[in-house]
Structure 1
Amino acid sequence: MNRNMPVNASVAPFVSASDLAEWQKTIGRTETRTEVLGAEPLRRFALATGAPDDVEHRSPPLGHWAFFPPHARDSEIGPDGHPRRGDFLPSVSLPRRMFAGGTIRFDSPLILGSEADQVSRIAGVSHKRGRSGDLVLVEVDRTIEQAGRACIRERQRYLYRANGPPIEMPVCASHRPAGEIWQPDEVNLFRFSAATFNGHRIHYDLPYAREAEGYPALVVQGPFTASRLAAFAMQAGSLAQFSFQARAPLFLSQPIYLRGAGVNVVEAVRCDGEVAMRADFVPA
């Protein structure tokens, strides 16, 4: 199988009204998966994110992402490492896809060793034109249920866009931003991708990241950053809700600064001072 083809080899650079109407037909589409929630996937997630691994007593921040990984055969993987589009998610033709953010409600603890259902539903498909061209936002509601009770409710936001010019490496400011320093390395990125079964090549394949998607270095996973921000927020206690928005990419080899930014607000800041991710939370 040739995965060295450009990521935009078979996708359109713009969105027509008929395209959008076709993708919006998927709104309301549902998918249900069932899994016994084991301790080991959760422990691997904890180890990958630097959280305590006594998962039988406490779950790592956003540890539910260790469960219900994407199911795709090798033949069903696209050139970017994601499952090919059109199975559950709509077949959006814009080439670049990113996890733009989400809102998570923690209603009840998950019970390890017990069966759980994840019910996913396409909640929205919308289009706008930004400075970089066409953008399509796909919103997915995912609920994890046990014994007929909703334990975790999540809205995930995926952003699709056209290819753009190469992105420059941020130039670090002479005065470093305030905050707790976090600087993941190649092994950290690989372990997080493995713990979440995330095949997107921008996190481990440098030639692909540079040549196909125009990044100057390997990209830190948005969910990885979100999990570290959730851990930062949880220093004062557990969470009832956590909402995050990715604003700019974070790159390997540069320090990231985690800091509070107001009441119940936390940020991940690049070394050039730009806010890469912002999150707000509700304490339990």
Structure 2
Amino acid sequence: MSDHTRIETDVMDVARARALQATLGQMPTIEFGHRLPPFFHQIYFWDAQTPDKLGRDGHPAVGGFIPDMGLPRRMWAAGKLVFHRPLFAGARAERASHIENVVRKDGRSGPLAFVRVRHDIRQRASLVLSEWQELVYRPDEITTMTEPPTAPTGESAAETVRYDATQLFRYSALTFNGHRIHYDVDYARNVEGYDGLVVHGPLHAHMLMGLAERQQGDLTEFTYRATSPVIAGEEVTYCWKDGAVWARGANGRLCMSGQAR
């Protein structure tokens, strides 16, 4: 656990929010003062590092806010969000971040480190959102992927999407995510061992939150966990039933699961 807290401020820029709507295939309708949809805060509070402070994968190099554990490859594996109040477009907000926990384990694919980061976002002196990110760090060499579980069926609502390289690039740009697996296909294949460009885990969470909100109204809490990557060009179906959400890959595998309240 770290006592170090990182404070960032940003304006919830309307143009950026409208660009995200367009990237997600929605009509850009957000105006100044509108309530931002769930997870739109991901396009703010950029960790803007100079090129010399980035790792080979495009992420900010470990050893700063995230401790250096000798495991350079990063994956955003899971998360939890608690929505206290609406976050409004056009107004300034502050995010306080600190590391809650670091755990090292030996997994089937080798040594791993699990880092839990907590973010609290305030706007107009009120706490509007608490978020926990579960990050996994692995060795640099390519590891064998484990067999993912099979996704449920029988959903009450669903949306099927097929992402292309342009959408992934735009989402990376809006979230200031430099991870090369999302836009550098040679790196994704030859260095990290994927079959092609990888769809962002947070993008799946984003789509599942939107689906849940359309089915059950304003959300108070959302949890999610990634289980299998989705490659650009592959169909993924976002599913909802009674508050349970999941992303199903083209071959029926479970790519992400979660719960919306």
**8 Å CA contact 2:109, 2:144 repeated in 1:** no
- For 1:232 and 1:113, how far apart are their aligned partners in 2? 25
Q: Deviation per CA, 1:157-216: give whole Å up to 9, x if none.
A: 10111234465999xxxxx99753211111111110011011100001011111111111
Sort the Cα spacing of 1:222 and 1:276 in 2 relative to 1 into closer, same or farther, 3 A.
Answer: same
| Pairwise CA RMSD | 2.3
- For 1:228 and 1:192, how far apart are their aligned partners in 2? 12
**8 Å CA contact 2:201, 2:226 repeated in 1:** yes
Match of 2:126 in 1: 149
Instruction: Give the alignment partner of residue 236 of structure 2, picking from 238, 256, 262.
Output: 256
**8 Å CA contact 1:202, 1:208 repeated in 2:** yes
One-letter amino acid of the counterpart of residue 104, structure 1: L
**8 Å CA contact 2:72, 2:138 repeated in 1:** yes
2:51 equivalent to 1:74:
yes
Match of 2:221 in 1: 241
2:34 equivalent to 1:54:
no
One-letter amino acid of the counterpart of residue 137, structure 2: Y
- For 1:228 and 1:85, how far apart are their aligned partners in 2? 29
Query: Secondary structure of the equivalent of 2:55?
Result: coil
One-letter amino acid of the counterpart of residue 210, structure 1: R
Match of 1:135 in 2: 112
Match of 2:161 in 1: 182
Structure 2: which 5+ residue stretches go unaligned? none
Q: Deviation per CA, 1:12-68: give whole Å up to 9, x if none.
A: xxxxxxxxxxxx5xx222100122222122222222223442223342331111110
Query: Secondary structure of the equivalent of 1:54?
Result: coil
2:7 equivalent to 1:37:
no
Sort the Cα spacing of 1:168 and 1:132 in 2 relative to 1 into closer, same or farther, 3 A.
Answer: closer
One-letter amino acid of the counterpart of residue 34, structure 1: T
Query: Secondary structure of the equivalent of 1:82?
Result: coil
One-letter amino acid of the counterpart of residue 154, structure 1: E
TM-score relative to the length of structure 2: 0.90
Query: Secondary structure of the equivalent of 2:251?
Result: coil
- For 1:270 and 1:61, how far apart are their aligned partners in 2? 23
Match of 1:101 in 2: 78
Structure 1: which 5+ residue stretches go unaligned? 1-23, 171-175
Query: Secondary structure of the equivalent of 1:195?
Result: helix
Percent same amino acid among aligned pairs? 36
Sort the Cα spacing of 1:42 and 1:150 in 2 relative to 1 into closer, same or farther, 3 A.
Answer: same
Match of 1:5 in 2: none
